[in-house]
Structure 1
Amino acid sequence: MTGWFGKQALDPALTLIAEPFVHPYMSANIWHLKGRDVDLLVDTGMGICPLAPEIDTPAGKPLLVVATHIHLDHVGSLHEFADRAGPAQSAAEFARMGDAATYAHEFRELEGAVSRLPHPGWRAESYRIEPAPLTRILAEGDSVDLGDRRFTVLHLPGHSPDSIALFDEHDGLFFSGDAIYDDTLLDDLPDSDRAAYRHTMRRLLELPISTGHGGHGPSFDRDRMRAIAQAYLATGS
């Protein structure tokens, strides 16, 4: 790997894109799923280096980019794409990308923000997120149709008030963002809500996924997701 991004093809349709030189606290998963009629990009990383050139959607084929929530590690490159969808709860904030919504200031203040400079002279203190007004607003029950598969939008608050996920009810494919993932779950941010998160976890216990791809950590199956949810509920948070 010589560039800023790392890529891993999980199957012929799905690629995981990561930013391995970003501090682990801020390094999020980016998912590119090739559909028959439309490609899907779930989240866009930090925006430190251009992401769009890394996405191999053929010229002329639509690409829909879905932000699972407005935190910095998921929306940094959103402005690079024309078709931008995101959660209704924070829709207006995408046109501003202010620190209060994105927590971009935390990266500017983070010691060891990157382990390798993206280019000479780069400074974390200059980090900012470009505004990216949404072209489509997503709410609970909405559909994202790629032609050969259709995802249902789930509103799963707790980590953040606007967290959404995409669930294919046909085969159980699940893009969960930060609603649930196989790593340390964050529920102590200023906009986190532990009571809402517990409700989300109880809902996820009943969700018949096959494979889940989260905003952080490795992918997981239904048994692992249930174990993560049960462990959170057992903490009494």
Structure 2
Amino acid sequence: MTDQAKWFCAEQLTDNIRRIWEPHVHRFFRANLFHVIGKDADLIIDFGMGLAPLRPFLNIDIGKPVIALATHVHADHIGSFHEFEHRLGHAAEADGFAGMEDVVTLAHLFRELPQGVEQKPEPSFDQDDYAIHEAPLTTVLAENDTVDIGVSLYKVLHLPGHSPGSIGLLDETSGIFFSGDAIYDGTLVDDLPGCDKSAYRTTMRRLRDLDVSVAYGGHGAPMTRERMRTIANAYLDASAQR
């Protein structure tokens, strides 16, 4: 049985936001997960590779409602999505969550990756057998929908480009922004199956002008508004030169 305390790492970002990651997963698939503690419900944003059970690591109060939200359907963000009862994601990828086929999750890229993990989550683990459990959405999201956890109200932003259904969550009061893989402090990916460079450019122009206090990406370190603008402008400049 997997020892979750050894498989996951966590750091406290604010009084009610914790970042979680899987340190033993290859860096290409080592995503950020976020646990946001609310008054009425806890919000979990993204779910790692699913190589070890995530929910027991979170220590959520017994009986407290939990909202599970996936920023997009790629393998490194939805592995443990099925562990949660109330699952939210964008309409453009609803079929993908229901079927979890390689063509949308890109799980085959992990199976084919040399040394996808630095250590096994459990002795019987075989990377060649990696698969993701189906996790149909219970709530389908669209632009301008809201997610209310009692302390914060998050507005859904549809940010396609990296994937058709990529979304971000913005608390317009505090300026806290969860951007998924739409933007993060690292090398942005726009050449995978399902990517759309034209849509990504539109998303980058939107993110460049977005009023945020801090942005938490699907990978990498938190971004200031200025850093996010720099990354967006760099993508747009590079795209114009292609």
Q: TM-score range by the shorter chain?
A: over 0.9
* Partner Cα separation in structure 2 for residue 28 and residue 67 of structure 1: 12
Give the counterpart letter for 1:213 in structure 2: Y
**What's the CA shift for 1:11?**
2.1
Count of residue correspondences: 237
The answer to whether the 8 Å contact 2:180/2:217 transfers is yes
State yes or no: 1:117 paired with 2:139.
no
Matched residues, percent identical? 51
| Distance of 1:170 and 1:11 partners within structure 2 | 15
**RMSD (Å), alpha carbons:** 1.1
* TM-score (structure 2 length as normaliser): 0.96
Q: Which of 147, 150, 153 does residue 147 from structure 1 map onto?
A: 150
**Structure 1 stretches of 4+ moved >2 Å:** none
TM-score by length of 1: 0.98
Report the alpha carbon displacement of residue 14 of structure 1 after superposing the two structures with TM: 0.9
The answer as to 2:129 corresponding to 1:126 is yes
**Aligned equivalent of 1:208:** 211
Q: Secondary structure of 1:89's match?
A: helix
Q: Which residue of 2 aligns with 1:63?
A: 66
2-structure distance, mates of 1:28, 1:85: 18
What residue identity is the alignment partner of 2:7? W
Distance 1:119 1:60 in 2: 29
Counterparts of 1:114 and 1:216, CA distance in 2: 17
Structure-1 separation of matches of 2:97 and 2:70 = 10
- Residue by residue over 1:63-113, the C-alpha shift from the partner in whole angstroms, topping out at 9 and shown as x without a partner, is 101000000000000000111101110112211101111001111110010
- The residue matched to 2:29 in structure 1 has which SS? coil
Aligned to 1:163: 166
**DSSP-derived class of the 1:32 partner:** strand
What amino acid is the match of 1:27? Answer: R
Answering whether residue 38 of structure 2 is matched by residue 35 of structure 1, we say yes
Any gaps of 5 or more consecutive residues in structure 1? none
1:135 alignment partner, one of 135, 138, 149 = 138
Question: What is the identity, as a one-letter code, of the residue corresponding to 1:95?
Answer: A
Larger helix proportion of the pair: 2
Residue in 1 that maps onto 2:98: 95
Task: Give how far 1:121 is off.
Answer: 2.7
